[in-house]
Chains A and B, each alone.
Chain A
């Protein structure tokens, strides 16, 4: 993975010094709340319900074991011994003290980490596929360009105070796993007719209050031009995006208002001025950064292993885990492994300091000392030998990281919600926990099969509820907490936004509502049809009818 040189290190060190002084001035009364707000936000610090929340950047979801060990230490020393992995592949601490945040950032800087631009109206953390570099369906490893974009966007002076937050995702696979269509800019890498790396540029996607999937603004962009093209897009947005209404300030609203044709023509005419400006990426810079993402020193292995197969055939618990949590790898004899942060009845995405330390150790032992964070809020060891899967499983299981539920109903994506977040209308974690308890039967979960259930505590949609096959949104009605249900959302190449099935429910009703939705699927599905396929075939009406049916007859 990328390693800092003296320049990178100096920038984060100077950031710590700058922020330490800003915090000092704020505490001394020299900065007002309003003046300090964007400064602390651009260092990831929110003021929350109980305490500040600090969001630490994990660029495109990659961590070294050393960094994860530091996060374990920080969450123990400055927080309550746990952290929350978010849908933007970052880590959130829920209980730090404002006064401690400069020290936390200073600790982070010692392991090449920071919290720069993890919040605020600026370019946020770049996200990508958690299997980048190892996925069999990958065409181009997007991480080098992601790192170049990270550096370019860090303190980009022109885009320091945009109308609203700005999220960029990159993806280089056949099957999109980075939800490029739900980002302000989505960069989809592919090989063009002359076998050169090219980028399809999506713009104006986003979830939130007004969920919209992005539109292709440029079908073919040469990789050298990615920074200047982004500059053209963001410049048009910076000047013309609405600043008068925070709910209408995202780029998607501007794109809709102008229409994609007009927006494209403004961007293209802007780009003509800056197309070959110095921020055009040079071959040598791409080469320099790409070296950090060279293939791991893999062994040449058979794609089979007797010990593994014995365990797989004789140990049902292990084989269940392999089926759900182990993923194909481009290299023979290797697999990628998801360590589930979704044990039933616990907050989705939370990891304790001890778990973080154990995962760091496991990665050193089995996966070249690297860890990925997925936007589904799990941890990934990307390069595990087949022969190591069994010992890895045993050790992960001992610390509660081997729930065999990846891709199943209980692998819920969930924001921190009303328990922590001051933006939330309703709690989300207790809903997730109640659903996990309701479905705490692995055989039944396997029978239901692949399904995505996403929960957000408010319309800001941090839990990506719009693209969940089942989406749950916390809403406020006259001061009490209610939940609106959508079905038919989907991430991926054929992404879609879910449809609301009807009036919202109370928290107590939610596990029952999900059960009834599943009942309809079980009854209506044909052969091996997945939940989302059934929904797309039969529409939402049968689900709606059953969920809102007066009497509780069984289907």
Chain B
């Protein structure tokens, strides 16, 4: 059973997710005795040789990590035209790196953003930038530690598909897309703030 929500319902996932191997020197980093949970924005985690060693499935729709895409995009141009290539970002990667790597970002049928920990709110800004700054119009997917209580915010920041963490029910999560019906501030989905949408003078 798929755990993907798109367009407000649970649907099958056509995309094959390609991941990078864990970096060889990924040791547990600690600061003041506490494990460091988040990577810094702009931090590089993999070497080129590691990235090169990743195999891309030769057929079908594949969702590639940004470093792999950046490295292999020339040889993938055919598949891009066929709409078989999507790219995903980590929350510590820069949206600019993706936008610079392609002449028209809308050649990608899907962009994914991986959130390692649900408390990492960078995903919201990334979604917002992709939609409002870079004009991305196709499927924008959140995956990773995606839980129902963040869906409403993700939706408002321009996400329209959500791969719910696999130990949770996507069907249950659907309800949370509509936790609030009339938001105050303008954002990506509803661009106008409430005072421009509704006459509140009465």
Residues of A at the B interface (CB closer than 8 Å) are 5, 7, 10-11, 14-15, 18, 22, 35, 38-39, 121, 151-152, 154-163, 227, 235, 238-240, 242-247, 273-274, 277-279, 282, 284-285, 288
Q: Are A245 and B121 in contact, CB atoms less than 8 angstroms apart?
A: no
Other-chain residue from B118, B192, B200 in contact with A7 (beta carbon distance below 8 A): B200
Interface residues on B, range: 35 or more
Other-chain residue from A156, A243, A247 in contact with B32 (beta carbon distance below 8 A): A247
Q: In the bound complex, what is the Cα–Cα distance between A159 and B123 (angstroms)?
A: 10
Q: In the bound complex, what is the Cα–Cα distance between A162 and B153 (angstroms)?
A: 13
Total inter-chain residue pairs, C-beta < 8 Å: 124
Answer whether A288 and B195 are a contact pair too, CB < 8 Å, given A11-B182, A239-B125, A243-B37: yes
Q: Are A244 and B37 in contact, CB atoms less than 8 angstroms apart?
A: yes
* Given A244-B36, A278-B186; 10 other pairs, CB 8 A cutoff: A14-B180, A35-B149, A152-B184, A154-B184, A157-B185, A161-B153, A239-B122, A240-B41, A242-B40, A244-B39
| Chain A nearest Cβ from B70, distance in angstroms | 20
Interface majority SS (helix, strand, loop, mixed), chain B: loop
- CB-defined interface of B16-46 with A at 8 Å, one 1/0 digit per residue? 0000000000000101101011111100000
Chain A residue at minimal CB-CB distance from B127? A158
Q: Are B38 and A156 in contact, CB atoms less than 8 angstroms apart?
A: no
B191 contacts A by Cβ under 8 Å: yes
Q: Which positions 187-202 of chain B face chain A at CB distance < 8 Å?
A: 187, 191-196, 198, 200-202
B102 contacts A by Cβ under 8 Å: no
Chain A residue at minimal CB-CB distance from B155? A157
Q: Are B40 and A162 in contact, CB atoms less than 8 angstroms apart?
A: no
Answer whether A244 and B41 are a contact pair too, CB < 8 Å, given A10-B181, A151-B185, A158-B124: no
Other-chain residue from B149, B186, B195 in contact with A277 (beta carbon distance below 8 A): B186
| Chain B nearest Cβ from A239, distance in angstroms | 5
Chain B residue at minimal CB-CB distance from A249? B38
B157 contacts A by Cβ under 8 Å: yes
| Chain B nearest Cβ from A241, distance in angstroms | 9
Q: Are A14 and B36 in contact, CB atoms less than 8 angstroms apart?
A: no
Q: Are A158 and B125 in contact, CB atoms less than 8 angstroms apart?
A: yes
Other-chain residue from B34, B152, B182, B193 in contact with A278 (beta carbon distance below 8 A): B193
Q: In the bound complex, what is the Cα–Cα distance between A246 and B186 (angstroms)?
A: 30
Q: Are B200 and A158 in contact, CB atoms less than 8 angstroms apart?
A: no
Q: Are B149 and A39 in contact, CB atoms less than 8 angstroms apart?
A: yes
B52 contacts A by Cβ under 8 Å: no
Q: Are B195 and A245 in contact, CB atoms less than 8 angstroms apart?
A: no
Q: Are A160 and B38 in contact, CB atoms less than 8 angstroms apart?
A: no
Q: In the bound complex, what is the Cα–Cα distance between A7 and B32 (angstroms)?
A: 46
Q: Are A273 and B38 in contact, CB atoms less than 8 angstroms apart?
A: no
Other-chain residue from B34, B150, B198 in contact with A160 (beta carbon distance below 8 A): B150
B71 contacts A by Cβ under 8 Å: no
Residues of chain B lying within 8 A (CB to CB) of residue A10: 181-182
Residues of chain A lying within 8 A (CB to CB) of residue B196: 278, 282
Residues of B at the A interface (CB closer than 8 Å) are 29, 31-32, 34, 36-41, 118-122, 124-125, 128, 132-133, 147, 149-150, 152-157, 176, 179-187, 191-196, 198, 200-202
Q: Are A157 and B192 in contact, CB atoms less than 8 angstroms apart?
A: no
Residues of chain A lying within 8 A (CB to CB) of residue B154: 157
Q: Are A18 and B153 in contact, CB atoms less than 8 angstroms apart?
A: no
Residues of chain B lying within 8 A (CB to CB) of residue A161: 118-121, 124, 150, 153
Q: In the bound complex, what is the Cα–Cα distance between A444 and B154 (angstroms)?
A: 59
Q: In the bound complex, what is the Cα–Cα distance between A90 and B94 (angstroms)?
A: 38
Residues of chain A lying within 8 A (CB to CB) of residue B41: 239-240
Q: Are B184 and A18 in contact, CB atoms less than 8 angstroms apart?
A: no
Q: Are A279 and B200 in contact, CB atoms less than 8 angstroms apart?
A: no
| Chain A nearest Cβ from B193, distance in angstroms | 5
9 contacts between A and B (CB under 8 A): A35-B147, A155-B183, A157-B152, A161-B120, A161-B153, A238-B124, A284-B195, A285-B195, A288-B195
Residues of chain B lying within 8 A (CB to CB) of residue A245: 31-32, 34, 36
Chain A residue at minimal CB-CB distance from B179? A18
Residues of chain B lying within 8 A (CB to CB) of residue A14: 179-181
Q: In the bound complex, what is the Cα–Cα distance between A22 and B201 (angstroms)?
A: 34
Other-chain residue from B119, B122, B150, B183 in contact with A121 (beta carbon distance below 8 A): B119
| Chain B nearest Cβ from A19, distance in angstroms | 10
Q: Are B198 and A7 in contact, CB atoms less than 8 angstroms apart?
A: yes
Q: Are B157 and A7 in contact, CB atoms less than 8 angstroms apart?
A: no
| Chain A nearest Cβ from B40, distance in angstroms | 6
Q: Are B119 and A157 in contact, CB atoms less than 8 angstroms apart?
A: no
Q: Are B184 and A244 in contact, CB atoms less than 8 angstroms apart?
A: no
Q: Are A121 and B179 in contact, CB atoms less than 8 angstroms apart?
A: no
Task: Kindly name the residue among B155, B184, B187 whose own CB sees the greatest number of chain A CB atoms within 10 A.
Answer: B184
Q: Are B124 and A160 in contact, CB atoms less than 8 angstroms apart?
A: yes
| Chain B nearest Cβ from A89, distance in angstroms | 21
Residues of chain A lying within 8 A (CB to CB) of residue B36: 244-245
Residues of chain B lying within 8 A (CB to CB) of residue A239: 41, 122, 125
Chain A residue at minimal CB-CB distance from B133? A273
Q: In the bound complex, what is the Cα–Cα distance between A201 and B144 (angstroms)?
A: 37
List the 3 closest pairs (A to B, CB-CB), nearest first.
Answer: A161-B121, A157-B156, A243-B38
